[in-house]
Structure 1
Amino acid sequence: MSIHQSSNVKRITTHILQEMKNRGEKISMLTAYDFTMAGIVDTAGIDIILVGDSASNVMAGHETTLPITLDQMIYHATSVVRGVKRAFVVVDIPFGSYQGNSSEALRSAIRIMKESGGHAVKVEGGSEIKESVSRILSAGVPVMGHLGLTPQSIYKFGTYTVRAKEETEAQKLLDDAKILEDCGCFAIVLEKIPASLAKKVAESISIPIIGIGAGPHVDGQVLVVHDMLGITQEFQPRFLRQYADLRADMNKAVQNYIKDVKSKDFPNDQESY
């Protein structure tokens, strides 16, 4: 099915995403954190919009994803949902809002669904959070998993380097993917792992596998929209393909505006009442 055909779909669902994997159609996914950007990305025909806790970095300027709160994630998710007509909206449950115990995890997931109108939640980790995942799913909330480089665990890893290169960690990742599938997750994000391992996961797991820095053999890809559009320029990992240089365009536009104001060219007669 082409992108034009799939854009006729009224609303993407977990069922449609599973069908896409089954027939070998790749799934496209980008982040968005506000109404305007969500509308642009949705109208373009994206399949999944992730309201990522990367908002902590991109929107708030924090060094890690850890500081963002549940209330802040709900605010971003609410803004995104208002701008979306077709895409499936997944919302990150932020650090500290699900790891403690499964009751807290369930409360966080229910707040996100009720208050934001999002369609699913995403959590990081495998066997360690199995109980929380099961509890959230028991309430009928769809869950997307996230394995490999899990940014909420950055201080445990100590580095943003590629994960699961060693056999033990690779085996744990495979086991965790199976655990998440068995729990009932509808999809899993794999971040910054060897392409060969990601291929093995995608082939051995029946649910969609979305990669970021995980090679081409998975069922879909996700990038942070500000990175992909060249709005943020500090972050240049190997897996990022920049599709525009909006930072330069925006900078030039602002400079032109300043010049026109200073030279009294703006506003002109046509732009006045």
Structure 2
Amino acid sequence: MRTSIVDLQLMQERGEKIAMLTCYDSSFARVLEQAGVDALLIGDSLGMVVQGHDSPLPVSIADIAYHTRCVARGAPKAFLLADMPFATAQISPEDTFRNAAELIRAGAQMVKIEGGSSMAPTISFLVTRGIPVCAHIGLTPQSVHQLGGFKVQGRNVAVAQQILTDAQALERSGASMILIEAVPRSLADQICAQVRVPTIGIGASPHCSGQVLVIYDMLGLGAYIPPRFVRPFIQETGSIAEAVELYVREVKAGQFPGEEHCYGV
């Protein structure tokens, strides 16, 4: 039976960390599931690591749906979360619902939407119509041009307060999970203390309910300088499967991320 959002919520309540990785194809899905990964994110990061773009912006809803179907066939048990790519959620709630429904039909159990409080009405619209949502705050890669690059967010007091306010508003709107990317650890800790839904960190805090990395980054295959929060687990092991197993063990034990993978104010 496939892992559900209720299972992930129970893991959080028990204090068991959630191990998540991005995944884009059936073969990796099989390896990751067998290595013990709890949740697979079909991320728009595929635009950079699979398609060769310099940002996730060119990725389409059809791209995510295609890769979701591939991952679903390879991993029959892991929880599946699919990204809503650029310009597919920042539109009318009705059109967003149609896009999200395409990903659910492809096999996703939840969609991930970038953005702060302004996305709360859209998230509420989806949730009341049966589509679970993960909210994505902090560094939101789809806003790379507005942010001036892939930069840590929340080092400014006012921005940090807005991100915390966003997290609370998104939880109230019905988001079942919150992904926190590239913010100071102190801010991530505040968010974790203020919300009750599972939090997934990437460059955030070891106190998050779980962690996620781009699979190609942890395997040292990214064609760019990896961000601080990336650890190339493949360099410590002899195979992809062993690298993923080590990642899962260290996430579960609270050993990853370490201080060296987190950001200060």
| TM-score bracket for this pair, using the shorter chain length | 0.7 to 0.9
Counterparts of 1:205-220 in structure 2 under 5 Å? 205-220=195-210
- Give the 4+ runs in structure 1 shifted more than 3 A: none
1:265 maps to none
Structure 1 position 245, deviation (Å)? 4.4
SS class of match (2:19): strand
2:253 maps to none
Give deviations 1:59-117, integer Å, cap 9, x for gaps. Answer: 10000110011111111111011111211000001101110211111110111111x11
Structure 1 position 49, deviation (Å)? 0.3
1:3 maps to none
Aligned partner of 1:78: which letter? Answer: R
2:97 maps to 106
2:171 and 2:38 map into 1 onto residues whose CA distance is 21
Residues 227 and 235 in structure 1, CA contact (< 8 A), matched pair in contact too: no
Give deviations 1:232-270, integer Å, cap 9, x for gaps. Answer: 252321111111149x999xxxxxxxxxxxxxxxxxxxx
Counterparts of 1:177-216 in structure 2 under 5 Å? 177-216=167-206
Residues 231 and 245 in structure 1, CA contact (< 8 A), matched pair in contact too: no
Q: Which has the higher contact order (CA 8 A, sep 6+)?
A: 2
2:9 and 2:110 map into 1 onto residues whose CA distance is 14
Aligned partner of 2:83: which letter? Answer: D
1:158 maps to 148
Identity %: 40
1:169 maps to 159
Structure whose CA Rg is larger: 1
SS class of match (1:215): coil
| Alpha carbons of structure 1 residues 86 and 235: separation in structure 2 relative to 1, 3 Å | farther
2:42 and 2:71 map into 1 onto residues whose CA distance is 7
Which of 69, 74, 78 is equivalent to 1:87?
A: 78
1:127 maps to 117
Question: Do structure 1's residue 117 and structure 2's residue 117 form an aligned pair?
Answer: no
SS class of match (1:12): coil
2:43 and 2:125 map into 1 onto residues whose CA distance is 22
Aligned partner of 1:174: which letter? Answer: L
1:177 and 1:203 map into 2 onto residues whose CA distance is 11
2:62 maps to 71
1:180 and 1:249 map into 2 onto residues whose CA distance is 39
Count residues in correspondence: 239
1:60 maps to 51
SS class of match (1:152): helix
Unaligned runs of 5+ in 1: 1-9, 251-273
Residues 13 and 88 in structure 1, CA contact (< 8 A), matched pair in contact too: yes
- TM-score, length-normalised on structure 2? 0.87
Aligned partner of 2:158: which letter? Answer: T
1:125 and 1:161 map into 2 onto residues whose CA distance is 15
Residues 202 and 213 in structure 2, CA contact (< 8 A), matched pair in contact too: yes
Structure 1 position 161, deviation (Å)? 1.5
SS class of match (2:71): helix
2:262 maps to none
Aligned partner of 1:236: which letter? Answer: P
Residues 229 and 244 in structure 1, CA contact (< 8 A), matched pair in contact too: yes
SS class of match (1:63): coil
Structure 1 position 154, deviation (Å)? 0.4
